[in-house]
Amino acid sequence: MSEAGIDRIGFATTSLFLDMRDLAKSRGVDPEKYTVGIGQAEQSVAPSSQDSVTLAAAAARDAMKGEDPGEVDMILMGTESGVDASRAGAVYVKELLGLPDRVRCVELKQACYGATAALSWALDYVSMRPRRKVLAIGSDIARYGLNTPGEATQGAGAVALLCSADPKILKVEEDREFLTALAADFWRPTYSDCAIVDGHYSTEVYLEFFSRLWKRYKEETGRGAQDFEAFLFHLPFAKMGLKALREVLKEADPDRAEKLRSRFEASAAYGRRVGNIYSGSLYLSLLSLLESSLLEAGSRIALFSYGSGAEAELFSATLQEGYSSFLAPERHLAAINGRRKVGVGEYEHLFSDFLPSSPQDYSCDERYFAGPFRLAGVKGQKRQYEAGM
């Protein structure tokens, strides 16, 4: 029986954010539609010098603080904002972190499910090699386009999970239930830098997948709502997870339902401010809940991962004794609180200043250089990454 799980959780986002009330005003929408109806307060905004690689490297660096890089055998990066159709973003991450060459680097893609695939592979790997570690990362920038319904659900960030056979934070159970079925709910053709989405249909598929997996999970494990201290969801926006949670709340007694509701709120706290970070989103919910200090060691939590297209997985994890001393709430809150607010005009300018999809050279705007790693530009069709000062 595997004891593998998550040893450390790293997080990174950009240095800029947009207030949803400012966006609502500019779009002629009632601000409560965004803040209550969708459930988002802010979204991180990415200048072109921040991409899925720089965010992944920053989150991985955060997860690796005080760790021995020589123990890491693999970097598995789940992303749907990959910067190259051939080379894995994880190769750049390895270089930026200065990890030894004796490491495997791979990128995995299936919309927001990518990081769960990475985690799954990482856990199986470390179970077989108890002295080795694997970094599983989810890193993305969610882009729907200016003046689109999806605009209020954009965001940018990364979460890195350092996995080991003797985890300090949580043990991931082997009760994984999963499901794939072709759905035209959300996709991004290679010619487009923004996703195409059938928004209302995507929420229907998400809920249907949760329902099917929850039913199957209960049948396979004999567990129900009463057996969990919290339910965590992929959170493209906070209201989405709440809609799925309602199905579980109907089956819980009033005390349990109240607990699950308040823990859901704690799990959505970081995401409400960072926005959808696609593949890392479920794990940002995990971090947000754990850093709220509401749960005791030994608590069992359920995790629902969803990636459009569509694929989903429901599994559980158990918190380890002393887990909270391996978290870094001050550092992660400082990353969120330390962002600079941009107005709608500046956000629109940054949104439209992205790398040309042609062989010409490009320099990123130095005024937006921030964070431990950045993309300086593209020269001779080669991306120029740098460590910050």
Say whether residue 200 binds ligand HMG (CB under 6 A): yes
Shortest distance in whole angstroms from residue 201 CB to ligand HMG: 9
- Site residues for ligand HMG, 341-380, by CB under 6 A, read none
Contact string 218-237 vs ligand HMG (x = CB under 6 A): ----------------x-xx
Size of the site for ligand HMG (CB under 6 A): 31
> Least separation, in Å, of the C-beta of 75 and ligand HMG?
21
Task: Report if residue 271 touches ligand HMG, rule: CB under 6 A.
Answer: no
- The sheet carrying 340-342 orders its strands as 42-45, 16-19, 340-342
Of 32 and 296, the one with the shorter C-beta distance to ligand HMG is: 32
Cα 204 to the chain's mean position, in Å? 21
To the query of whether residue 194 is one of the catalytic residues in this protein, the response is no
Q: Which of 17, 206, 210, 323 binds ligand HMG (CB under 6 A)?
A: 206
Site membership for ligand HMG, residue 138 (CB under 6 A):
no
112 labelled catalytic: yes
Question: Sign of torsion, CA 151 152 155 159?
Answer: negative
**5-13 and 16-19 beta bridge pairing:** unpaired
Which of positions 57-86 make contact with ligand HMG (CB under 6 A)? 80
Of positions 18, 56, 58, 111, contacts ligand HMG by CB under 6 A: 111
Q: What is the DSSP code string of 137-179?
A: EEEEEE---TTSGGGGG-EEEEEEEEEESS-SSEEEPS--EEE
Pick the piece of the chain touching ligand HMG (CB under 6 A) from 50-58, 218-226, 302-310, 342-350. 302-310
- Residues 153-182: x/- map of binding to ligand HMG (CB under 6 A)? x-----------------------------
- The reply on whether position 278 binds ligand HMG by CB under 6 A is yes
Amino acid (one-letter) located at 389 = M
Catalytic residue among 112, 163, 194, 364: 112
Q: How many residues does the chain have?
A: 389
CB 117 → ligand HMG: shortest distance, Å? 12
Binding to ligand HMG by residue 143, rule CB under 6 A? Answer: no
Helix, strand and coil in the chain, % to nearest 5? 40, 25, 35
- Please enumerate in sequence order all residues whose Cβ is within 8 A of that of 375, keeping only pairs 6 or more positions apart, or say none: 48, 49, 50, 51, 53, 54, 364, 383, 384, 385, 386
Return d(Cα 196, Cα 107) in angstroms, integer.
Answer: 22
What does DSSP assign to residue 360? S
**Which residues are known catalytic residues?**
80, 112, 234
